[in-house]
Structure 1
Amino acid sequence: MASVGLLYVGAVLFVNAMMLLGKVDGRAAAILNLFVGALQVVTPTVIIVTAGGDPATIMGASGIYLFGFTYLYVGIGLLAGLSTTGVGWFSLFVAIAALVYAAHNAFTVRDYPFAVIWLLWSFLWTLFFLVLGLGREDLARYTGWVTLVQAWLTAVIPAFLLLTGRYSPSALYALILAGVCVVAFGGLWMTARRTPEREPSHA
């Protein structure tokens, strides 16, 4: 069930990236944020209720709420025309919590690709905090491109690997993912700094 939700996290990140890059209107993106946000709240609730009190299952499901609440917050904010500062500061909380989930996956679960994925999510939500919480408009375009890359590398592709039974928690896959992202984000940073700035949008 969680892997299905992960697929649609990729979808909403893709749409939000297009919004940050000025290709999708904020109110148009709000609907998908609400759909995926609701899914990411219902899914962990079902998993936890049916976990029979198993701590490992509950821990694994608990992190999904971070994203569900983010997308609901974004969707409602876009439709209501609210300030971005609330979701921006909530993003800082998500970024910090994601570090704990990264450590848990690395040292307890031994799922090394998802340890890297949680680190990448921490980086992305830190960018959301800077853009939306602190008003760093100069980072909006870069954040859009990072969001676009992460939609595929941290959500869509892992979700399909899980759904097709081809996912592996190996350290090799984690190293490949980390290497690709370091190169991609470094290149995007150089490109974004040479591109004229635009008005930021919600994440």
Structure 2
Amino acid sequence: MSNVGLLYVGAVLFINGLMLIGKVPGKSAAIMNLFVGAMQTVFPTIIISQANGDPAIIFGAAGLYLFGFTYLYVGLNQLCSLPGEGLGWFSLFVAVCAIVIGSVLLVHFDDPVSAVMWYTWAVLWFMFFLLLGLNMESLAITTGWFTLIVAHITATIPALLLISGAFKSTTANALWMAAASLLALIFAFVMGRRAALNAPAPAAMTQAG
């Protein structure tokens, strides 16, 4: 993924995380999703058309469509008030692809940082699958907080460092990113649990007699 594209992945994930925890209305978040989704479909198409059949370039560009289609799907769902099951099952497809892409980057291209990014995104998209595809609404806050935090761990901060030339794909940096992502997941589950405990009780349970 290009460094500039990665920066805007961070931006849209941040907005979507805020949407899931109830801080940004869905239709407001839809605009950013459509902007970034369009960018992440047009750019890889241009890259592939100019790749001259180079497998490495095509492989790198192909993963961008997974992001692009996800964001376009989210944007259209929010604007048109569509059910989320289709997006949820597509998220499962993305999660599986992300594992494969991360493994190829690690083994074939010796790029541990990018591999950890894709593995983390696999976890994130699997959570989208649980939330939307299987209607596990209790995970909404947890997924929102995880999305919000890993937006910066796996996208915004690495993108800015890569653009400046100050970030290298080393095993040490990959381990730091993996540890930060794991802590983000733990924190997200804590926040989700806290939200569940603070949720109003059902009316049948609060009415005595």
Question: Any conservation in 1 of the 2:150–2:184 contact (CA below 8 Å)?
Answer: no
CA distance in 2, matches of 1:112, 1:170: 6
- Answer 1 or 2: higher relative contact order, Cα 8 Å, separation at least 6: 1
Identity %: 52
Distance, in Å, in 1 between the alignment partners of 2:97 and 2:188 is 26
1:191, distance to aligned residue in structure 2 (A): 3.3
- Give the C-alpha shift of residue 181 in structure 1: 1.6
* 1:48-87 equivalence runs, <5 A: 48-87=48-87
In the other structure, the counterpart of 1:163 is 163
Q: Name the TM-score, length of structure 1 as normaliser.
A: 0.94
1:29 aligns with 2:29: yes
The residue aligned with 1:187 is 187
Which residue identity lines up with residue 36 of structure 2 in the other structure? V
Quote the offset at 1:3 in angstroms. Answer: 1.3
Residue 2 of structure 1: how far off its partner (Å)? 1.8
Aligned position for 1:120: 120
Kept in 1: contact 2:153–2:180 (CA 8 A): no
Q: For structure 2, list consecutive stretches of 5 or more residues without a partner in the other structure.
A: 200-209
**Please, what is the CA RMSD of the aligned residues?**
1.3
Superposed CA deviations along residues 136-190 of structure 1, whole A, max 9, x for unmatched, are 0110000000000111011111111221112211111001111122123113313
Distance in 1, matches of 2:188 and 2:123, equals: 14
Q: Which moved more, 1:33-42 or 1:154-163?
A: 154-163
Partners of 1:155 and 1:4 lie apart in 2 by 10
Query: Which residues in structure 2 correspond to 1:73-112 (within 5 Å)?
Result: 73-112=73-112
The answer as to whether partners of 1:73 and 1:87 remain within 8 angstroms in 2 is yes
**Equivalent in the alignment of 1:201:** none
Work out the CA distance in 1 between the residues paired with 2:193 and 2:127: 15
C-alpha distance in structure 2 between counterparts of 1:140 and 1:190, whole Å: 13
Query: 2: CA distance between counterparts of 1:32 and 1:165?
Result: 27
**Structure 2 Cα separation of the partners of residues 183 and 69 of structure 1:** 28
Cα deviation per residue 1:61-115 (whole Å; 9 max; x = unaligned)? 1100000000001111111111001101000000000000010110011110110
